[in-house]
């Protein structure tokens, strides 16, 4: 066997090891997300819920990083290539901030200047199942 | 970061005679296609987020997505089914990496084996999604029809189901295309096309696409089912 084949073989084990390591990280992050999701169901404090949701979003970005960097192999490409992919995607930071701010502001303005509409959206409706059940009992 | 090549001879990379990005043309174009696709999905998800931020109420995903196949009536299992779907996609992504890796070693047997696992994973995911869509449709949810109430008990708008079906549908269509691409790759591998070419670069490109599908699911899963 030539020298190059030997080094290839040496890299081989390391690459496969890295794949399984990243698989473990991705699974662990998903399980943490799910635990947070289940935990969140029983919490009524909106501040706490927002904190958990923020944590889930951070974990989501971590997962995205591991998939792109290791599974899609971007981390091992040349820096020039990485930059042509990552720099345009940085637009998302502004894209998300601006649109969510806009949505929130639209809601606040609408609620302030159209109180009738706000009242309409606050009317409680009976669930279909409950309606059916109440019909049954009436009969 | 592996910047050894760049720091060693940055000028030589751009002085002609070889690819400055050190990747094959098709693979580079696959990266740029995926980047544009990321903007498409991003635009969908941001539109969803904006609408949700602009609404006074929104349905609780744990009350909407709480069904499970073959579960008896009245049993609610929020997050369980979708977490299975998530793991199916992660595992199929892992087998795809293994197939790409085997391709680099010119190991045809391992490529075939891992591609078959990946295809099975893709089909399993699509089946789960078909079941879920069918279930929601039976509950009365569809484009333009939203039987669910907001978390606070008030009337919900159709935005919720419209966004859900459009975005998971668009993602599901990507999974379907990925499965078709992987089946084509499997047939080409079995026909020894890549052995004749002397490289398995096509598998790498199909792999990039497949990982992107998994990547998008990470975002869809979080935005629709978790938060």
CB contact under 8 A, B155 and A118: no
Residue A128: predicted pLDDT: 57
A79, A103, A118 member nearest B50 (Cβ): A103
What is the C-alpha to C-alpha distance for residues A22 and A18, in angstroms, rounded to an integer? 6
Residue A53: predicted pLDDT: 94
Q: Is the dihedral of CA A31, A68, B172, A21 positive or negative?
A: negative
> For the residues B126-136, what does the mean pLDDT come to?
95
DSSP state of B226: I
The residue of chain B with its CA nearest to that of A81 is: B21
What are the pLDDT digits (tens) for B11-69? 678 888 888 888 999 999 999 999 999 999 999 999 999 999 999 999 999 889 988 88
Closest by CA to A68, choosing from B44, B62, B219, is B219
Residue B77 banded pLDDT, cuts 50, 70, 90: confident
Rounded to two decimals, the ipTM of the complex is 0.89
CB contact under 8 A, B153 and A19: no
Q: Residue A72 in contact with residue B38, Cβ under 8 Å?
A: no
> For the residues B123-138, what does the mean pLDDT come to?
96
**What distance in Å separates residue A37's CA from the closest CA in chain B?**
6
User: What is the token pair recorded at B156?
Assistant: 């919900």
Q: Residue A11 in contact with residue B71, Cβ under 8 Å?
A: no
Residue B185: predicted pLDDT: 96
Residue B167: predicted pLDDT: 97
Residue A48: CB atoms within 10 A of its CB come to 12
CB contact under 8 A, B226 and A81: no
Residue B183 has pLDDT above 50, yes or no: yes
What is the three-state SS of A45-92?
Answer: CHHHHHHHHHHHHHHHHHHHHHHHHHHCCHHHCCHHHHHHHHHHHCHH
Residue B6 has pLDDT above 90, yes or no: no
- Give the pLDDT of chain A (139 residues) as one tens digit per residue: 334 444 445 578 888 999 999 999 999 999 999 999 999 988 888 899 999 999 999 999 999 999 999 999 999 999 999 999 999 999 999 999 999 999 999 999 999 999 998 888 888 887 655 555 555 555 5
Q: Residue B147 in contact with residue B200, Cβ under 8 Å?
A: no
Q: Which CATH number fits domain B25-226: 1.10.1040.10, 3.30.750.210, 1.20.120.80, 3.40.50.720?
A: 1.20.120.80
The residue of chain B with its CA nearest to that of A125 is: B154
Residue A6: predicted pLDDT: 42
Q: Which residues are CB-contacts of B85 (< 8 A; sequence separation ≥ 6)?
A: B125, B128, B129, B217, B221
Mean pLDDT score of chain B: 91
- DSSP letters, B83-111, are HHHHHHHHHHHHHHHHHHHHHHTT-HHHH
**Cα-based distances in Å from A26 to A3, A63, B88, B130:** 35, 6, 12, 25
> For the residues B181-200, what does the mean pLDDT come to?
95
Residue B4 has pLDDT above 80, yes or no: no
Residue B3: predicted pLDDT: 46
Q: Residue B126 in contact with residue B172, Cβ under 8 Å?
A: yes
Residue A89: predicted pLDDT: 93
Residue B152 banded pLDDT, cuts 50, 70, 90: confident
Q: Return the ∠ at Cα B226 (arms to B223 and B227), rounded to 5°.
A: 65
What is the C-alpha to C-alpha distance for residues A113 and B43, in angstroms, rounded to an integer? 29
What is the C-alpha to C-alpha distance for residues B171 and B219, in angstroms, rounded to an integer? 11
What are the pLDDT digits (tens) for B104-116? 999 999 999 999 9
Best B41, B48, B49, B53 member to test A by mutation, with max A CBs in 10 Å, is B53
What is the pTM assigned to this prediction?
0.88
Residue B212: predicted pLDDT: 97
């Amino acid at each position: 066997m030539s020298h190059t084949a030997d080094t290839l073989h040496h890299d081989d084990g390391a690459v496969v090891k890295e794949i399984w390591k990243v698989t473990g990280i991705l699974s662990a992050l998903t399980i943490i997300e799910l635990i947070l999701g289940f935990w969140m169901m029983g919490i009524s404090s909106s501040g706490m819920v927002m904190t958990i949701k923020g944590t889930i979003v951070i974990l989501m970005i971590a997962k995205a990083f591991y998939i792109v960097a290791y599974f899609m192999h971007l981390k091992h490409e040349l820096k020039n290539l990485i930059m042509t992919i990552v720099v345009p995607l940085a637009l998302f930071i502004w894209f998300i901030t601006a649109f969510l701010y806009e949505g929130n502001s639209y809601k606040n303005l609408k609620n302030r200047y159209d109180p009738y509409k706000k009242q309409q959206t606050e009317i409680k409706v009976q669930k279909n199942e409950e309606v059916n059940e109440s019909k049954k009992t009436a009969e | 970061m592996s910047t050894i090549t760049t720091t060693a001879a940055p000028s030589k990379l751009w002085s002609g005679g070889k690819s400055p990005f050190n990747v094959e043309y098709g693979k580079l174009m696959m990266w740029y296609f995926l980047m544009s696709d990321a903007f498409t999905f991003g635009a969908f998800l941001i539109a969803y987020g904006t609408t949700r931020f602009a609404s006074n109420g929104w349905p609780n995903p744990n009350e909407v997505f709480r069904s499970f196949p073959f579960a008896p009536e009245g049993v609610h299992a929020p997050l369980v089914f979708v977490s299975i779907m998530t793991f199916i996609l992660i595992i199929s992504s892992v087998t795809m990496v293994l197939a790409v890796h085997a391709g680099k070693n010119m190991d045809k047997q391992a490529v075939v084996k891992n591609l078959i696992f990946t295809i099975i994973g893709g089909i399993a995911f699509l089946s789960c999604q078909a079941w879920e869509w069918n279930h929601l449709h039976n509950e009365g949810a569809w484009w333009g029809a939203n039987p669910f109430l907001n978390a606070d008990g008030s009337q919900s708008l159709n935005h919720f189901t419209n966004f859900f079906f459009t975005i998971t549908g668009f993602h599901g269509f990507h999974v379907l295309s990925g499965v078709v691409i992987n089946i084509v790759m499997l047939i080409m591998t079995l026909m020894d096309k890549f052995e004749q070419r002397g490289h398995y670069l096509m598998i790498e490109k199909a792999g990039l696409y497949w990982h992107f599908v998994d990547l998008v699911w990470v975002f869809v899963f979080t935005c629709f089912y978790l938060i």
